[in-house]
């Protein structure tokens, strides 16, 4: 671990769990990764499969030093920060900056509704932000938009093509970074994802259908 300011090492975070797995969603799928699940979420999606991440009791307060030591023990180079909603953690930027300084590739999964101004100073090629806009509004904070490297839509009964091709998503869509993820790997949602993929192709937009592969593999 590189030397960090002692006061930073004492920063605390509400951590639900830290574990080693393979990335099961999006463009990092299949790669070995350490997950940091932070506590709290500002949304309540009906199909959420990690409700324990915001029940207010399933977390442990850990210092930055404790987190870095645990992450280092896995000897991997990729870290995914998820939730809940990680941007609810006010000092998220300190955790991310510290991981980047330790030469990790950092992946943040966010619903896109929140932003932290301090991130403007730490955006690098080693920081990958994937945004999964959520129903009913599929709102994404305008300050976050320029830093999104992947759009991931959960294909449920709510999602339509109009939610995907919203004007504010156009620049991201041009980079061909759209993932369609069938809700809970349900067969009917796989069929809907295929239909949405065809609709997008008709207007010149490609997308990738990627299920939750960790569930297929029986992993957390």
d(CA 64, CA 26): 27
Backbone angles phi, psi at 147, to 5 degrees: -105, 0
Residue that is written with structure tokens 């156009």 in the block: 170
As a whole-number percent, the residues of the chain with pLDDT over 70 amount to: 97
Backbone angles phi, psi at 4, to 5 degrees: -120, 160
Is the pLDDT confidence value at 5 over 80? no
Token code pair at residue 138: 């599929």
Is the pLDDT confidence value at 6 over 70? no
Does the pTM exceed 0.95?
no
Strand, coil or helix: 122: coil
Spell out the residues 6+ positions from residue 162 whose beta carbon is closer than 8 angstroms to its own.
none
Instruction: Give the model's confidence band at 3: pLDDT under 50 very low, under 70 low, under 90 confident, else very high.
Output: very low
pLDDT at 147: 95
Is the pLDDT confidence value at 204 over 50? yes
Is the pLDDT confidence value at 1 over 60? no
Backbone angles phi, psi at 102, to 5 degrees: -90, 10
* Tens-digit pLDDT profile for residues 23-46: 998 888 999 999 999 999 999 999
* Tens-digit pLDDT profile for residues 59-100: 999 999 999 999 999 999 999 999 999 999 999 999 999 999
* Tens-digit pLDDT profile for residues 99-138: 999 999 999 999 999 999 999 999 999 999 999 999 999 9
d(CA 193, CA 69): 40
Q: What length does the chain have?
A: 220
* Tens-digit pLDDT profile for residues 138-197: 999 999 999 999 999 999 999 999 999 999 998 888 877 799 999 999 999 999 999 999
pLDDT at 27: 82
pLDDT at 4: 55
All domains of the chain in start order, with CATH: 6-216 (3.20.20.70)
User: Environment class of residue 131 by beta-carbon count within 10 Å: exposed (0-12), middle (13-18) or buried (19+)?
Assistant: buried
d(CA 145, CA 171): 9
Tell me the H-state helices in the chain. 6-9, 64-72, 92-101, 161-164, 170-173, 187-201, 213-216
């Amino acid at each position: 671990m590189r030397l960090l300011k002692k006061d930073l090492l004492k920063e605390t975070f509400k951590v639900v769990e830290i574990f080693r797995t393979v990335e099961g969603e999006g463009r990092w799928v299949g790669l070995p990764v350490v997950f940091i699940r932070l506590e709290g979420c500002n949304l309540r999606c009906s199909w959420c499969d990690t409700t324990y991440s915001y029940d207010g009791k399933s977390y442990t307060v850990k210092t930055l030093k404790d987190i870095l030591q645990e992450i280092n023990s896995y000897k991997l180079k990729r870290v995914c920060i998820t939730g809940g909603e990680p941007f609810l953690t006010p000092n998220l930027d300190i955790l991310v900056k510290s991981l980047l300084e330790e030469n990790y590739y950092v992946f943040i999964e966010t619903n896109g509704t929140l932003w932290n101004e301090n991130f403007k100073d730490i955006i690098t090629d080693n920081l990958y932000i994937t945004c999964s806009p959520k129903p009913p509004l599929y709102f994404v904070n305008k300050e976050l938009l320029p830093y999104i490297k992947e759009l991931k839509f959960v294909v449920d009964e709510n999602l339509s093509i109009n939610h995907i091709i919203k004007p504010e998503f156009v620049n991201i869509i041009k980079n061909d970074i759209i993932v369609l993820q069938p809700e809970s790997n349900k067969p009917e949602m796989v069929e809907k994802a295929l239909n949405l993929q065809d609709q997008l192709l008709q207007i010149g937009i490609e997308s990738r259908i990627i299920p939750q592969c960790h569930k297929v593999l029986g992993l957390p």
